[in-house]
Amino acid sequence: MTKADKTTQKRAAAKSFLIADCGHVNTTLALFDAAIDSYRLIARATVGTTAAAPWNDISLGVRQAMRQLTTITGRPLLNDNDALIKPARPDGSGVDHFALTISAAPPLQTILIGLFDDVSLSSARRALDNVYFHEADTFSLSDERDEKTQVATFLQIKPDLVFITGGTDGGAEKRLLELIENASLGIKVLANIKKPQVVYAGNKELRERVRRIMGGKVELLVADNVRPHLNEENLDDAIKTVSTLYERQIAAVPGMETLQKWSGVTPQPTAQAFAAIGDYFAALNKGCIVGVDLGSHSVTLVIADPDQRDLTVSSEMGIGYVARLLAKSTPAEIARWIPFAVEETAVRDYIYNKALHPQLIPTTETDLFLDQAAAREIVRHVVSDSMKQWTQSDDGTLPPFQLLLARGSTLTNAPRAGQAMLMLLDALQPTGIFAVALDRYGMLPALGMLAEMEPLVAVQVLENVVLENLGWVVVPVGKGQAGQPVLNVTLNSDLDTELEVEVMYGTIEVIPLKPGDKTDVLLTPNGRFDIGLGAGKSQKFTTEPGSVGLIVDARGRPLVFPDDDIERQELVRKWIWDVGG
């Protein structure tokens, strides 16, 4: 067989993949196929999502994106009946596989029931953090409402899910059973209007009694106790159970039945697909990675290493829910990231308008900086709250990591790569040495889905560069005075050129690197500063150039702003200028 025949045979055996990612605002379609003996991203198209009124059919947006892909590639994807052509035909039309990730389904409206907020309820929240959910109300021992009011709460909220936990295995029973009795009245009254899903993940000794209390009209799902012992947490079974319930939420989205027929594969929540690709990078790098997805209606935070993964889906802090930010940050705290004076009323007006129209793109400099300032505060709160919950620490800081994966239109639509980089550094305030990759084309959830379907395809697509490398970041830790030397950076490129840079405390230093030129970097910190190996210890590594370059963030942790407004604005302006923003 000739080489040409072998190549033809490989191409004939290759399968094509069409992955849709349906968010609240946008639907992105990506086409992957073999080209030049390797799988690549062939084309992508983005349109508005049509799950909500006035369309009420999510498949309409997917079809529109398919037509765009046909225009781009010349490859017909829909037949005369507006159905997906599957499998691919010899004439090049259609695709072999279609799959779907989605965050457009509404979050699970949830009532939590448990004994203590910092024990079983805290564990319940960590389990629910793996899906899109909204904590509508909580019943616990600290709840002083009477039985009538609690029953009325069920009718008012009409929850999708009642999640019951509490009590260690074999532990106290009476108080938990009283809470469950009261809740069962509300659930049974509500059952005439809407039947919520009920999950019990508490004291295993009470399972049969809970079944009798709930009666036959309610579907009760039982999961392993999330807190079998006071100092032991067991979330896997509860996570699996609530994930199954969210799949039902997805199936109820208008138009989803059509897409599921085309797919044959269970649609996956976008957050889970994003977490899956995080697992891949953690295994690839043999270390910790952090992933941040700033969406229109949710923020997803993934921290993964080869042994474990922590996932938080905050369904109440996306750009589309930005009005809720005002409950956590004052207008002044938001405006502190802006390099000029902005009235507090202007901050509020912009945030409320953005909440009504999350799809709007900033058209003025003020709107752009307000948009980016709100993004910083949203991500900052999600990270802080998540880390306090996961690690039970007070500072809410991230652990050291090797790679930061970031996505979301506020980041990818930033006019300059330096602005995206600065938003991430300001919001996360990370430390140590790490690389930053931006999902500019919205491919990471699709690749997470591909990684489970066809791992080789995901690997080859990533090798063919679908992520934008923003560069490497070095953040020394230590206390210092402005202008004090913090770190010496020595660079040697493939061309044997040497450059030495001394970085001062309180500054951001961006060192451009030549495109296509690998550079050896030697970092020598001042004796009191630590870059991850211990105070004063040097480190050497090799880096490739990114969109921004090599960034040394020596502003200190946490970031401190001057009290004087003019000084603060000048400082923020300097930070933006230094990163090329």
- Please tell me the pTM assigned to this model: 0.92
- Tokens matching residue 236: 């896997």
Residue 123, Cα to own-chain centre: how many angstroms? 20
- As a whole number of angstroms, the distance between CA 133 and CA 314 comes to 8
What's the CA gap between 42 and 453, in Å, rounded? 18
Rounded CA-CA distance 100/392 in Å is 35
* Alpha-carbon separation of residue 457 from 15, 39, 242, 425, 463 (angstroms): 9, 6, 30, 32, 10
pLDDT per residue as tens digits for the range 357-366? 888 889 899 9
Each residue's pLDDT tens digit, 476-529: 999 989 889 999 999 887 655 688 999 999 999 999 887 777 889 999 999 889
Give the mean pLDDT of the chain: 91
Give all strands of the β-sheet with 539-543 in edge-to-edge order: 498-504, 485-493, 519-525, 539-543
Q: What is the mean pLDDT of the segment spanning 165-187? A: 88
CATH 3.10.20.370 is right for the domain spanning 3-102: yes
- Spell out the domain ranges in the chain: 3-102, 108-251, 271-479+547-578
Q: Is 239 helix (H, G, I), strand (E, B) or coil?
A: helix
CATH of the domain spanning 108-251: 3.40.50.280
- The model's confidence at residue 10, banded by pLDDT at 50, 70 and 90, is very low
- The pLDDT value recorded for residue 8 is 40
Q: What is the mean pLDDT of residues 158-176?
A: 89
Say yes or no to pLDDT of 281 above 80.
yes
Q: How would residue 215 be classed by pLDDT, with cut points 50, 70 and 90? A: confident
pLDDT over 70 (residue 318): yes
Helix or strand or coil: residue 33?
A: strand
pLDDT score at 360: 82
Measured distance CA(293)–CA(23) in Å, rounded: 12
Tens digit of pLDDT for each residue in 433-442? 999 999 999 9
Q: How confident is the model at residue 303 (pLDDT cuts 50, 70, 90)?
A: very high
For residue 540, give Cα distances in angstroms to 287, 489, 520, 521, 527: 17, 10, 7, 6, 17
Instruction: Pick the range with the lowest mean pLDDT from 212-226, 447-461, 483-497.
Output: 483-497
Q: What is the pLDDT of residues 386-424, one digit of tens each?
A: 888 877 666 778 999 999 999 999 999 999 999 999 999
Query: For residue 237, is pLDDT > 60?
Result: yes
- pLDDT at 579 exceeding the cut of 60: yes
User: Is 90 exceeded by the pLDDT of residue 208?
Assistant: yes
439-443's contacts with Cβ under 8 Å and 24+ in sequence apart are: 439/405, 439/406, 439/407, 439/412, 439/467, 439/468, 440/412, 440/467, 440/468, 441/30, 441/41, 441/44, 441/466, 442/21, 442/28, 442/30, 442/44, 442/46, 442/407, 442/412, 443/30, 443/41, 443/44, 443/467
Q: What pLDDT is stored for residue 6 in this prediction?
A: 42
Q: What is the pLDDT of residue 394?
A: 66
The string of pLDDT tens digits covering residues 51-109 is 999 999 999 999 999 999 999 999 999 999 999 999 999 999 999 999 999 999 999 99
In the prediction, which pLDDT does 245 show? 93
